[in-house]
Amino acid sequence: MARHEAEQRHVDLFGEQKMLEAKTRGRLAVQIKQARKAEGWTQQALAEQMGMSVSTIRRIESGSTMPSISTLMTVSQVLSITFIIGESSKYRSPFPNA
């Protein structure tokens, strides 16, 4: 019985993680698309600025793919934005001077 409960908890946590990943992809997609449009850029223009294909930008903006940390850093520099990944824009660092 205990083994079944542990396995079920693992399945539940895995499902929660997948849901969180999907929400994060969606949030990032919206932020990138809004920032691109605010600049008046097409997906083609953003792709050229980032050295990526238009299809990659399309997948990121649709939320169908999770951009890598490297891609997020590049897009944040190109569009001069900061990403909010969590539910809230409030961040409390455990480090006093961070």
Instruction: Please report the pLDDT score of residue 77 as a whole number.
Output: 95
Can you list the residues of the chain whose pLDDT is less than 70?
Answer: 1-2, 4, 6-8, 10-11, 86-98
The answer to whether the beta carbons of residues 31 and 81 sit under 8 Å apart is yes
First CA to last CA across the chain, in angstroms?
Answer: 46
Q: Residues 30-50: pLDDT tens digits?
A: 999 999 999 999 999 999 999
**So what's the pLDDT on residue 91?**
42
**pLDDT for 10:** 62
* Contact yes or no for 28/83 (Cβ under 8 A): yes
Q: Report the pLDDT value the prediction gives residue 17, as an integer from 0 to 100.
A: 86
Two tokens at 57? 């930008």
Q: Is 12 left (phi over 0), alpha (psi -120 to 50) or beta?
A: alpha
pTM of structure: 0.73
The H-or-E segment that residue 76 falls in is: helix 69-79
Contacts of 66 (CB under 8 A, 6+ apart): 21, 24, 25, 28
- pLDDT score for 92: 45
**CA 57/CA 45 separation, integer angstroms:** 10
Domains (ranges, CATH) in the chain?
Answer: 2-79 (1.10.260.40)
- pLDDT of the residue at 6: 67
